[in-house]
Every structure is written in C-alpha cells, then in structure tokens.
Structure 1
Amino acid sequence: MVYFQKMTPEGYQEIKDEIARLKQDRPRRVKILQAARALGDLSENTEYSEAKRDLGHLDSRLRYLDKQLKYAEIVETNEDGLVDLGKLVSLKFEDDDETEEYKIVGRMEADLSKGKISFDSPLGQAIMKQKAGSTVTVEAPAGNYQVTIVAIN
C-alpha cells in the first residue's frame, strides 16, 4: 500500500528548493572527499572519514527528499470557510487573552517556530473542518484544553 503525504504547494516547493541546494553543494563535497583521499593512508585519515560521512549524509538526505516528493499529495486550498490545509487560522486558547496565528500544513512541513502546525497534530485534528467562531476541545498528551477559532484566512 502506498501512503501519500499531504502537502501544501509551498511545502512541495520548499523541498524542491532544498534538493536543488543539496545538488549544487554535492560537487564541492565530492572534491573535498577526493582531496582527503589524496592525503594517503585511509585507515588513519580523519579528513577522509569526515568527508565520506558528510557526502553520505547529503546523499541520504537527497534520497529522502526525493521520496517525499514522489509520494506527495499536493492539496490546494479552497474558499469554503473551513479550516483546512494551507489556511492561516487565528486561534484563542482558553485562559489566554491573545490570539495566535498558525498555518495548517502537512506533516513534513510542520514547524512550530515558524507558526506551522500539522493537520494531524492534536491541535490540527481538533480544528480541521471547523468554522470561525467554533470552540473545540484539543485532546493532547499533556491534557485536554479548549481553543476558539477566531478567523480563517
């Protein structure tokens, strides 16, 4: 069974951009490996071991990102007034006077420090397909709490 990873068009483009950066950097890393190999005895050549490891990490990351793109399901946003992937939501948490904005994204794109939450996180699951003005209960590992959807953009 093939599992497709839901993703916003922006998230898909970010992965493509990272792949391009890594592919651009790969020849430089290959040259570093070749220069380290030329230093001689490989059994005690720390530069060679590090260069080989770094190139291996880069190649592994490229394979991983290529796989993410291969199995990506790009989800376009629609204007139905409901919380969904790609939409920006303003939320008011219980016992808090301020609102916070989050973009609803796929699992691979989630980054709380950038205000991006996954649709399948506890918060994401609770607010998905809800309308502005709705108050929902979030069932989180640390305990349940309530959040009100102030606006959806």
Structure 2
Amino acid sequence: MSRGFVKEDDQEEVPMVPPRADLPAGVTNYVTPKGMEALTDEKTLLIKEREALDTANENERRIALNHINAKLQLLNTRILSAKVVHLNIQPKDEVRFGAFVTLKIGTTNKIEKYQITGVDEADISKGKISFVSPIAKLLTNKKVGEKVTLKLAKEYRLFEVMDIAYGQK
C-alpha cells in the first residue's frame, strides 16, 4: 500500500535507545560475577518498569513500551554473550581480568587503584576500567614492580604496578 494512504497518527514511532558500552566485534564479553549480577538486576528493573507502565494515553504507552523493549533486547543480547570470569581462579601474581591494581604514576608518589572489569561494569568514577581500555591492555600479564608506558595525546605516562589483588576492595 502506498504511504499516501496511511494516516500520520498511525505511524509507529521508532524508539531511540542509546547503545550499550562499546564491545569491539569479535571480542569476548567478559564480566565479573558482580557485573553479571548488575546486568540481571538491570533486566529485572526493566521488566518491572514495563509491567508498571500506567498511562491513559495509549500512544504514549505504546512508545514507552517500545522503548523499554528495545532496551531489554540490547540487554538480553549482552547477557547472553557474557562470560563470567571467577576472580578466585585468576593467577594472584599477575594482572588479569578482574584484578584490583594499585599503580604508582610516573615519578610522583601519586597512587591510583583500579579494577579491570567488563565493558558494562566500567565506571572510572568508581575506579573500574574496561578490559578493552588502553591502560588495561598494557597492564594485562604484568607483575608487581613492572612498569608500563601509556601514550596520551600530548605526553607519555609511566605506571608502576604496586599491588595486585582479586578480593573485594
């Protein structure tokens, strides 16, 4: 049927859903146990939100429902592709996925602590960096005392591994 015979009001609005954190094509979706728990909690909240939709306007309800369903579809895809990495089996003397790493920056006495996590868990404000980030890639397989150099836009920054742990910090 020609689009000329379709009323404007009958057009289904396509929801604009922001993409999830970038996971490069072909890269395994590693998550920590806490990361998997956060993904499943997010799914539960979205399902509850969908069930609680209560609006008098049917068009608004349909748009909100489409938006939630689109978010659920992206989330389900991420959950299905997730591979949980149990931290208790990681080598204790090397930086690997899930490690809490204490770093000395350059020649200063400034210390920073990060956990290497999955892309959905990463949150720099909480000290969590994605395993696909440049610094995490440089740190992987390093041991206490080893140094790595990260090339930034206008400088190079030196990091020294001071401590590696896999327990909660």
Fold shared by both chains (TM-score > 0.5): yes
Q: Is the 8 A contact 2:104 2:160 kept in 1?
A: yes
Aligned residues: 139
Number of the residue aligned with 1:147: 159
1:62 corresponds, among 57, 69, 72, to 72
Q: Letter of the aligned partner of 1:82 in structure 2?
A: E
Shift of 1:7: 1.3
Shift of 1:8: 1.1
The farther-off stretch of 91-100 and 134-143 is 134-143
Provide the C-alpha distance between the structure 2 equivalents of 1:64 and 1:143, rounded to a whole number of angstroms. Answer: 37
Structure 1 unaligned residues grouped into runs of 5+: 38-47
Residues 21-42 of structure 1: CA distance to partner in whole angstroms, max 9, x if unpaired? 111111122x32xx112xxxxx
Number of the residue aligned with 1:85: 97
Provide the C-alpha distance between the structure 2 equivalents of 1:70 and 1:36, rounded to a whole number of angstroms. Answer: 34
Q: Letter of the aligned partner of 1:69 in structure 2?
A: I
The farther-off stretch of 109-118 and 92-101 is 92-101
The root-mean-square deviation of aligned C-alpha atoms, in Å, is 1.9
The farther-off stretch of 72-81 and 17-26 is 72-81
Q: Is the 8 A contact 1:91 1:150 kept in 2?
A: yes
Percent of paired sites with the same residue: 29
Q: Letter of the aligned partner of 2:57 in structure 1?
A: A
Q: Letter of the aligned partner of 1:87 in structure 2?
A: A
2:83 corresponds, among 73, 76, 80, to 73
Q: Scaled by the length of structure 2, what TM-score is found? A: 0.74
1:124 corresponds, among 111, 114, 136, to 136
Provide the C-alpha distance between the structure 2 equivalents of 1:13 and 1:142, rounded to a whole number of angstroms. Answer: 39
Is 2:37 the counterpart of 1:13?
A: yes
Give the secondary structure class of the aligned counterpart of 2:30.
Answer: strand
Residues 78-134 of structure 1: CA distance to partner in whole angstroms, max 9, x if unpaired? 233101111111111115422111111012221111110012211101111100111
Shift of 1:141: 4.6
Q: Scaled by the length of structure 1, what TM-score is found? A: 0.81
Residues 9-64 of structure 1: CA distance to partner in whole angstroms, max 9, x if unpaired? 111110001001111111122x32xx112xxxxxxxxxx44x43332221111111
Number of the residue aligned with 2:113: 101
Q: 1:85 to 1:142 in 2, by over 3 A?
A: farther
